[in-house]
Amino acid sequence: MKFTVSTLLFAAAAAAAVSTVSAETWKITNEDSGSRQNLCALQVSTCQNNCGGPDQAPMAFCNTTTMAWGCGCLKKTPDFETWNWPIPAADCKGSNDVCVNNCNGQSGDRSKCFISCQDTHKCNTEDAPVSYTETDDTSTEPRYVGPAVSYKGDKLGDLNDGNDRSNLVASEDESSSNSDDSSSKEGETDKEKDSKNSDATSVFKTASLALAAVVFAAVSI
């Protein structure tokens, strides 16, 4: 039996079709352990620099498991723009990447979808979506998902990053303070999201394995 190029293309197309059944869901803790550690180190050093040195930054923390972060200086209020701190910036970029991936998973004309990702993810600017990762201390778990509003306070369109924000209402202080009131209801929602996300991941893995098996079979014939 011989495998032709078209057999392979068919297998690839089938694998791709399966992998896009569930949308990808973004959460900053999706980053692997190495990336989380690098990001945390950068977050802490950026805080220390802003404060004027490590001895001036008693409240520079970052939890490499939850990515909860905070910055407080001894003699000043940190004056770094929130959307430029390493973790909020990475949170925006990750959400944007998932938005684009989710557009790619759509059929038909995707250009509107891509433009919408750009409009809702003006990362590293005051128009970026607020990152709900900042907490009061290292053991408080971030909220992660909050209303889609910018740091400037504008309501944003659908971030299309797999997180359901339909029942979240922006409070008046949402854009200025990343409140982290983690009620048990939100905890449940997070768990649901986690399982959704791992479903999508496992479907993708299965599809990738199937494709790899076909390619391997073709090569070894």
Told to check if 141 binds ligand NAG by CB under 6 A, we report yes
Size of the site for ligand NAG (CB under 6 A): 6
Burial label for 49, CB within 10 Å (0-12, 13-18, 19+), is middle
Cβ at position 135, least distance to ligand NAG in Å = 9
Question: Looking up tokens 């979506």, which residue turns up?
Answer: 129
The conformation of residue 7, written as its DSSP 8-state character, comes to: H
Of residues 48 and 101, the one with the C-beta less far from ligand NAG: 48
Say if residues 64 and 85 touch (Cβ distance below 8 Å): no
Residue 194's nearest CA partner among 148, 162, 158, 149 is: 162
User: 62 forms bridges with which residues in the sheet?
Assistant: 69
Extended strands (E) in the chain = 61-62, 69-70
Of residues 70 and 88, the one with the C-beta less far from ligand NAG: 70
- 95/19 Cα distance (integer angstroms): 19
* Candidate residues 29, 35, 48, 138; the one interacting with ligand NAG per rule CB under 6 A: 138
Of residues 47 and 117, the one with the C-beta less far from ligand NAG: 47
* Candidate residues 37, 106, 124, 139; the one interacting with ligand NAG per rule CB under 6 A: 139
Cβ at position 136, least distance to ligand NAG in Å = 12
Residue 39's nearest CA partner among 91, 79, 4 is: 91
Told to check if 176 binds ligand NAG by CB under 6 A, we report no
DSSP calls for 66-103: T--EE---SSS---S-GGGSHHHHHHHHHHHHHHHHHH
Cβ at position 69, least distance to ligand NAG in Å = 11
Interface residues for ligand NAG in 25-84 (CB under 6 A)? 63, 65-66
Cβ at position 139, least distance to ligand NAG in Å = 4
Of residues 69 and 204, the one with the C-beta less far from ligand NAG: 69
Q: What are phi and psi of 4, to 5 degrees?
A: -100, 170
User: 134 forms bridges with which residues in the sheet?
Assistant: 69
Told to check if 182 binds ligand NAG by CB under 6 A, we report no
- 42/52 Cα distance (integer angstroms): 15
Of residues 87 and 98, the one with the C-beta less far from ligand NAG: 87
Of residues 36 and 121, the one with the C-beta less far from ligand NAG: 36
Residues at the interface with ligand NAG (CB under 6 A): 63, 65-66, 138-139, 141
